[in-house]
Amino acid sequence: MIVAVAVAARVPAPPLAALFAALSSRLGGAADPLPDDAIASLVAQARAGDGGARQALYEQFVDRVFRTVRGLLRSDADAEDVTQDAMLTVLTSLHTYRHRPDARFAAWVTAIALNTVRRRFRRRRPELTATGDLPDVPADATDPVEALDRARQRRALLIALAELPQRDREIVSLRYGADLNASDIAAAVGIGAANVRKILERTRARLGDRLDALLHPDGGTA
């Protein structure tokens, strides 16, 4: 995305780029992931009151937060609420983030999202069932066959995730949803990195088998 590249190069975003950023937001477009040092630069600018940097940070993380928390919650509506709350917390608490080489901003954002999910669990303990709601077919999809196939995959993934224990579901969501490494996950979940790797290996195999069984019940392979 143009504004992201401009900010990464530490050049003030021109009005046209800001316009593109706003348009991209309106269209629900995902931002290209930025390297950690560019993110740190955006955080510094957003702290100084730069609205464009705050918008760019939001664009960087909103989809990632949604796909991380979706597998931990019962419905899309819950995931929307949690994503909104988590992103608001992130954007209004930037002054509390301390940049360190071992504390990536992505891990900090994900820890906030995970805490928001846990607070929601404490408030009204939802039963996490696989069939809590049917996955919706994206209205903006151009190819109906592809859209149906994605909806089928989505439903299979939600079913497979609902069958996992809570801790394993969190770990696998942080790995594939938030794209965190074992050390970041260990810090967020509060267990050792070696243990995270072991759980990931086991859960990945279990998830893969279950997805294969759900997507190819006749025994075919992906």
115 binds other proteins (CB under 8 A): no
- The distance of closest approach from Cβ of residue 106 to other proteins in the complex, given in angstroms and rounded to an integer, is 16
Q: Which is nearer to other proteins, 8 or 91 (CB)?
A: 91
Task: State the Cα–Cα distance between residues 192 and 100, nearest whole angstrom.
Answer: 19
Q: Which is nearer to other proteins, 172 or 186 (CB)?
A: 172
Sole binder of other proteins in the list 46, 112, 156, 185 (CB under 8 A): 156
* CA 220 to chain CA mean position, Å: 30
Q: Which is nearer to other proteins, 11 or 175 (CB)?
A: 175
Stretch that binds other proteins, among 11-19, 20-28, 109-117, 186-194 (CB under 8 A): 20-28
Task: State the Cα–Cα distance between residues 173 and 169, nearest whole angstrom.
Answer: 6
209 binds other proteins (CB under 8 A): yes
Sole binder of other proteins in the list 52, 58, 78, 180 (CB under 8 A): 58
- The distance of closest approach from Cβ of residue 93 to other proteins in the complex, given in angstroms and rounded to an integer, is 13
Q: What are 152's two structure tokens?
A: 């089928």
Q: Which is nearer to other proteins, 11 or 213 (CB)?
A: 213
Stretch that binds other proteins, among 2-10, 67-75, 94-102, 123-131 (CB under 8 A): 67-75
177 binds other proteins (CB under 8 A): yes
Residue of 161, 158, 169 whose CA lies nearest to 199:
169
**Binding residues for other proteins (CB under 8 A):** 25-28, 30, 54, 58, 62-63, 66-67, 70-71, 76, 79-80, 83-84, 87-88, 91-92, 135-136, 138-140, 150-151, 153-154, 156-158, 176-177, 204, 207-209, 211-212, 222
